[in-house]
Every structure is written in structure tokens, then in C-alpha cells.
Chains A and B, each alone.
Chain A
Amino acid sequence: MAQTLYEKVFDRHTVRRLPSGQYQLFMGLHLIHEVTSPQAFEMLRDRGLHVLYPERTVATVDHIVPTHSQARPLADPLAEEMLVALERNCRDAGIRFFGVGAAEQGIVHVIGPEQGLTQPGMTICCGDSHTSTHGAFGAIAFGIGTSQVRDVLATQCLAMDKLRVRRIEVTGRLRPGVYAKDVILDIIGRLGVNGGVGYAYEYAGDTIERLSMEERMTICNMSIEGGARCGYVNPDETTYAYLRGRPYAPPAEAWERAVADWNAIRSDADAPYDDVVRIDAASIEPTVTWGITPGQSTAVGAALPDPASFPPEERPLVEQAYEYMGFRPGQRLRGTRIDVAFIGSCTNGRLSDIEEVVRHVQGRGVKVAPHVKALVVPGSRQVQREMAARGWDTVLREAGFEVREAGCSMCLAMNPDKLEGRQLCASSSNRNFKGRQGSPTGRTLLMSPVMVAAAAIAGEVTDARDVFALAGKDA
């Protein structure tokens, strides 16, 4: 019978059916970081268990690392304690650890693909909801909690229910100035932040097929923001070209065998789906969030919606968002003064994100507005090195951006990079929840990295197509 990639990968990794009706699923790759793993190792110690497949777990440190100086000991004693705990746990268990100072260190969802650890047809989990990122390679990848991290360490397995599969088909050309970030914000805006609960999202269609791996990662990354625990793209030549030659990718002598296997796990052309959604790429605008969930978004030039236009059960949240953000229905975000601009995170902190920003900034004599604090934070040490090798860090610094060291930085508030008071931040990250960026009253506007750069330069929310004179605005 014709099957989706989700079903094929799920079947291949099924160890057995559990008495509860759930499935015992083998995890091909387990990634861990400092925030959600220490308690899991503690639970193992309490129960006298050991790590069953230490070679299938890989660790890094990302959330708590400062981005201005990564000298040890870390200035924050709590952060240092978490780092020491992870170092010790990895050493004791024989787990590979890309620590502070290691060439491979970075945000867990940036380094997995970068190192070639993330491969098609795998099951991948991590105590981190944005593990959905790895689905870009045609893996079934999802976030788990700490007790499940314990399960995976002890058994390399999880007890899971099977998800339904929704195919999201995006077709046609994206207009200039419209990026992968806009595609996923648009999808979440259409289907809602809980629209994906119970589903795996399969992103398909010629628009998706034309995207680079890094763009596909941006889309899969935010599946969880739409309620879908995992999202994936079927692997193809783009996937294989990206993987070939990476440190942990299949070796040259096994390459053909790997590719044949990966081709076989693609969704069959006549596979049945539980739901299909079709989106016209040309209808997608540069998108900005205005509220406190990633679903509360609008085209950058549009007026903010009237609460009365929402179903009654949605209205309290809409009103709460207006109150928190200090915006009014009917207002346009364009022209709203910002305080902080952040380019980085596992959504948009990869080399191509920074390349696209540099491409627009370089040689134009543009400068970050004097009142804006603008940060560019590479997603990994490798991205940082490649930026430096191309002189992009200098270009960005000359334009008034601060270029930092790799880490999660201002995506969340576990390191020194935080908003203060009610600051308004144009951010390329993934969550605009209340307090997400470190100040309980801080405010976040999610958008693409190029839109963040345009806002930094204009000092206010703006249409990047105007700032950077991108052709085809009304095409």
C-alpha cells in the first residue's frame, strides 16, 4: 500500500506495540543540551540505569552560553553549573560533546545538519521543541520532555502514538522580498497555533522543492509553532547535495547505497493523507507578528485586525495581545519605532540568512539607526567562522550591527542577551510569547532576517522591499 514518509520511517523504527496501544519507537539520533538533560541523567543515576547507546546521543551547549565572551568559568555561576553538569554527564556516559570552544559548537538544531548528523529516514529527538527543524531532511524529528530524555538515554526508545499526516502544498513563485520565514508565518496564520495538534506536517509543492536546505529548515523549525510536533520535506537532490561530504554524513563508499535508501523512504506519489492544504506562493506577503502568539500576524503593510472579526472564543486572546503590545486595531505596524533588532536563532541564524542580509547591506552605505541596538548572532561556530572568512562580520559591524559569538542569544532569556522593560524587538526568532525575550514586559515582532535588518536601519518596522529597493513589489 502507498505510504507517506512519516509512515515508512515510523514503521521502520517500531520496536513493538506496547500494551497501552502506543508504539515503542527506536530513536536514531538523540541530541541533548544543558537545559533539559541534567535532571534526566539524575533520574538514571537514581534508578541505577546507564546510557544504552551512548554513540547515538550527541550533546552541545547553546541556551546559556553568553555571546560576548565564552571564557570559562562562565560569568553566571548557574550557567557554569549547568555546563559543568553536562560535561560530567557526557564524560561519564561516553557521549560526544561539542562544548564551549569546540569548533562544532552551536545551537543544537543548527549543528546537527551542519555536521551531517541529521539524515533522511531517521527518527530524531531532543529535549527541545524546535527539533522539528531536522524534518527538513526527511527525518521524523520532534521535541520531548525531560522524563522522555531519560527514557531515550536508558532505552534509546520512546512510547509514542502515531500522528496523522497533513500535506501542505505550496505552489508557484514567491515574490521578491518574500522568504521561507514568511511562508511559515503565513501557514501558521492560516491554520492557527493549534491547527497542527495531532498532525505531522508534510511540506510539499514546487515552491518548497525549490527552497534550499536552510530555507526548508526555517519552515520545519516553526512547525511546532503551528501545533504540529513534527514537520518534514521529502528528501531530494537538494538534500543529498547539502549532506555530501559533511563530517558525519555517509562515507563516500556507502554514498550510493544511502541515497537509494533515502529515495525509497520518500512519500509515494499516491500516498493517502489525512488532510491536504494548498497555498499559492504568490499570495504570501512579507509577514510580521503583532501579538503574543506566532499565529497573530499580518502582511507588513496591512492594518491590524478588528477583534470583532475573530470568533468569540478567540477574542480574549486578541484583546490580551493588544493590551500587552500596546497596539490598536486598525493601526499599521509599518512606522512603529523599534528598540532592538535580533538576527539569529535556530530559525534564522544560518549562513544563508546572514548572507541575504549582507547582500542588501553591503555597498549601500546604510547604517543601523542610532537608537536601535542590533545584534547578529551566528547559529554556530561554523557559521561564525564562515562569516569571518568572507568578511561579512566586518561589513555588518561597519553598518552598525553588533556581531556576537554563537548561541541562542536573545531568542530566549537564559543568557545575558535580554530585552529591558517594554522594549520592542524586531526578531528573526520563532516565539513572540509574553516575556520570551527576557523582560516580563518585553515585546517581540517576528519577521524574516531581511525585514529585521530593514527595521534596524529604518529604526522602525518597515517594508524591506522599500528600504532595499527590491523590485517586483506589486508584481
Chain B
Amino acid sequence: MEDSRRVVISGPAIAVRGNDIDTDRIIPARFLKCVVFDGLGAHAFADDRAQLRERGHLHPFDDPRFAEARILLVNRNFGCGSSREHAPQAIMRWGRGIRAIVGESFAEIFAGNCLALGIPCPTARPEDLAALMAACERDPSLEFRLDLEAMTLAAGGLTAPLSMAPGPRSQLLAGTWDSTAELLAARDAIAATAARLPYLGNWR
């Protein structure tokens, strides 16, 4: 079985610039008509990519130089809007598969969805991100190293400190981010909680 611990993630990076990139942009709603997540990767950022293509530009997700990327760099409030898990599901299925996202900040539901999929979303200072984005754009093959134990992201000569809520971080380090089994282990405590909620028995 695959090791579920997330300690060091390394590989080339890709930058998608912009604040407040919502999940409708990450995966437009028409691609949500599905009962499985397979195949979503090809549609990540579909409309943004098409619009740039029309104007003769290339979205990083269409740029073959970034096809090997494993780490996504973003700006502020990434993943805001709809709760659709299809968004991180598409990102992790694009190309070789994105394994971590580092940004200035993340929308909460998005970060929670990523955690449930074992994708770390640590944050970095804006100025560090700007430098790291520029570095990967200069050299798309540059190797990045995300270390969740040391809480750093390093590439070339740069090393940026990262932050992350302690709970999610410890779950990723321990490999316990898939929460179902852990939650289910407390069956008796669940029943005890249910028993003290007045509305559960319709107030009888």
C-alpha cells in the first residue's frame, strides 16, 4: 500500500498567479456532471486556458514546460467559492499529478478538501512566493523541495519558511489525513454524544 505520510514532497513547480481564484474557475460547473472523479484532470482551469489560448497566450497548465510539475504555487484566497471537491481532484489528476499547493492563503473549504486528499496546503509570505514563482517561471525544471517537518519550501538558492495549522500538519506527517477510520473508532463516544442531543429523538 502507498505510504500515506506526507513529509517531503519534491519536484518541479508551476505557478498560477492571481488572488481570489474560485473553484468555478478551477473546474467549471459543466464538468461536475459526473458520478466519478476520473478524467477531471484534463479540465483543470478549462475556461481560463481556452480564453488565453484564443488570445494567443498560454496558461501554465497548457505550457509543456510545466508538464512535470508536482507543486502548485498560488496567491491569496485560492479555492474560494463553491465547496466542490472536484477542484482539488482535478488539480491532483492534472499532468503528473500535483502533490502540494503553496499559497499566500487558502479558502477554508478548499484547504479542508485538500487535506482529506492528502494534499498539503501550507502558506508562505507574499514576497517569498513572488520570488519562488519567478524562479520556477525562469527555470521550469528547477527542483523544489517542500519539507513539512522543517516547514520550508526550497528551490535554487531560496528557502522560504511556511506556516500551516498544527492539526492538519500533524495529520499529514503521521499519514492520518484520511479521517474516516479515526472518526469511526470513537463509536461509543459518538453514540453518547447523540444520546445527549435533545433534538435527535425529536425532543421526546
CB < 8 Å neighbour of A229 from B28, B77, B109, B184: B109
- Considering the complex, which residues of chain B in the window 8-22 have a beta carbon less than 8 Å from any beta carbon of chain A? 17-20, 22
A28 on interface, CB distance cutoff 8 Å: yes
Cβ-defined contact, A128 with B76, below 8 A: no
Cβ-defined contact, B199 with A433, below 8 A: no
Cβ-defined contact, B167 with A20, below 8 A: yes
B59 on interface, CB distance cutoff 8 Å: no
Residues of A within 8 A of B34 (CB): 78, 82
Cβ-defined contact, A35 with B76, below 8 A: no
- Chain B, residue nearest A122 (CB): B199
A275 on interface, CB distance cutoff 8 Å: no
Provide the bound-state CA to CA distance between A12 and B167, in Å: 21
Cβ-defined contact, B83 with A144, below 8 A: yes
- A42-B36, A151-B179, A433-B22 as given contacts; A146 in contact with B190, CB under 8 Å: no
Nearest chain B CB to A231 CB, angstrom units: 13
Provide the bound-state CA to CA distance between A15 and B197, in Å: 11
Residues of A within 8 A of B159 (CB): none
Cβ-defined contact, A82 with B33, below 8 A: yes
CB < 8 Å neighbour of B30 from A254, A320, A414, A434: A414
Cβ-defined contact, A129 with B35, below 8 A: no
B134 on interface, CB distance cutoff 8 Å: no
How many residues does chain B have at the interface if contact means C-beta atoms less than 8 Å apart?
68
B182 on interface, CB distance cutoff 8 Å: yes
- A122-B199, A440-B47 as given contacts; A317 in contact with B18, CB under 8 Å: yes
Cβ-defined contact, A258 with B24, below 8 A: no
Residues of B within 8 A of A142 (CB): 109
Cβ-defined contact, B183 with A159, below 8 A: yes
A168 on interface, CB distance cutoff 8 Å: no
- Considering the complex, which residues of chain A in the window 102-122 have a beta carbon less than 8 Å from any beta carbon of chain B? 119, 121-122
| Stretch in A193-201, A393-401, A445-453 with 4+ CB within 8 Å of B | A193-201
Nearest chain A CB to B50 CB, angstrom units: 6
Cβ-defined contact, A143 with B109, below 8 A: yes
- A12-B197, A20-B167 as given contacts; A434 in contact with B25, CB under 8 Å: yes
Cβ-defined contact, A36 with B35, below 8 A: no
Cβ-defined contact, B81 with A26, below 8 A: no
**Which of B108, B176, B193 counts the most A-chain CB atoms under 10 A from its CB?**
B108
Residues of B within 8 A of A22 (CB): 167-168, 171
Residues of B within 8 A of A39 (CB): 35-37, 85
A14 on interface, CB distance cutoff 8 Å: yes
Cβ-defined contact, A20 with B194, below 8 A: no
| Stretch in B94-102, B112-120, B150-158 with 4+ CB within 8 Å of A | B112-120
Cβ-defined contact, A148 with B112, below 8 A: yes
Provide the bound-state CA to CA distance between A143 and B85, in Å: 11
Cβ-defined contact, B183 with A227, below 8 A: no
CB < 8 Å neighbour of B35 from A82, A143, A314, A316: A82
Cβ-defined contact, B202 with A251, below 8 A: yes
- Please, what's the 1-or-0 string for A211-250, where 1 marks a CB less than 8 Å from any CB in chain B? 0000000000000110101000000000000000000001
CB < 8 Å neighbour of B109 from A15, A82, A144, A193: A144
Provide the bound-state CA to CA distance between A18 and B176, in Å: 11
Q: What are the 4 A-B residue pairs with the smallest beta carbon separation, nearest first? A: A145-B113, A147-B116, A254-B203, A145-B85
Given contacts A36-B83, A158-B179, A254-B204, 15 further A-B contacts (CB under 8 A): A12-B196, A19-B176, A20-B176, A38-B36, A39-B35, A82-B35, A129-B81, A145-B112, A151-B116, A156-B194, A229-B108, A293-B22, A293-B80, A317-B18, A435-B25
